[in-house]
Homo-oligomer: A and B are copies of this chain.
């Protein structure tokens, strides 16, 4: 029987690189997030942080671990769930699961329905302009999340992006030469325009499997995968990262730690304007969402 790397008692948990007992794992997880928060100054006193929660293990871990840090770091938080209004992407219970979580941990809960908030039917638009739903959905959610946070007095947005997501996104964007995107893969993306809310990624150095263990141990209910869930989509690069894991379990952690330090030159660092239609920040004349509506 493996022994906990920390207390040497018997380990029930085997995370990529080390075995843990339950209580040491939880300490390890919280310490890792806390160190990141301090190192990159993710949180300041009196911050109002809106956590974007899909209901999956990553965002639920993010909301939970931040809720535990409220007193220590003296900030306020709220949870936002975005209903994209696409039936295939909506698990009926998701809203209730997140609402229950927020009640239990005394976190204000916000629900944003894309159809009502932006007057946009993603499925219809997808058919009309013949682009896959997922390619529209990400952009629309980023837009709505930023707008909602700003309009409701939040000065930061937290997402549950973890080391697995970041590594995968690095390679996807690398092979597409989207270096301006890669340059933004940092634990904190400070606002560079009055209408853009600073983003933080407290789980930048956490692994998916750590998040899964974290929600299990804390008995946090999570929503099931929907048809288009990130985690159920097949992907060659994802397969490759799994293979790498089996050979080098610290690959992803070390990869994102290097990514924290590297600085990639971007073409137009500060060309953000306001959309002439809706006033939201964009690097074009008309923002992506307004173009969808045209």
Contact = CB atoms under 8 A, between A and B. Distances in A.
A262 B179 contact: yes
B247 A236 contact: yes
A129 interface: no
Contacts of A262: 174, 177, 179, 182, 264
A39 interface: no
Interface in A169-183: 174-175, 177, 179, 182
Interface string A251-264: 10011001001111
A164 B179 CA distance: 22
Contacts of A263: 179, 264-265
B261 A177 contact: yes
Contacts of A264: 262-265
Q: Is the interface of A mostly helix, strand, loop or mixed?
A: helix
A239 interface: yes
A106 interface: no
Contacts of A265: 263-265
A165 to B, nearest CB: 18
Nearest to A239: B247
A13 to B, nearest CB: 25
A7 interface: no
Interface in A232-269: 236-237, 239-240, 243-244, 247-248, 251, 254-255, 258, 261-265
The 4 A-B pairs with the shortest beta carbon distances in the complex, nearest first, are A263-B265, A174-B258, A243-B243, A179-B262
15 contacts: A174-B258, A175-B254, A175-B258, A177-B261, A177-B262, A179-B262, A179-B263, A236-B247, A236-B248, A237-B248, A240-B243, A240-B244, A263-B264, A264-B264, A265-B265
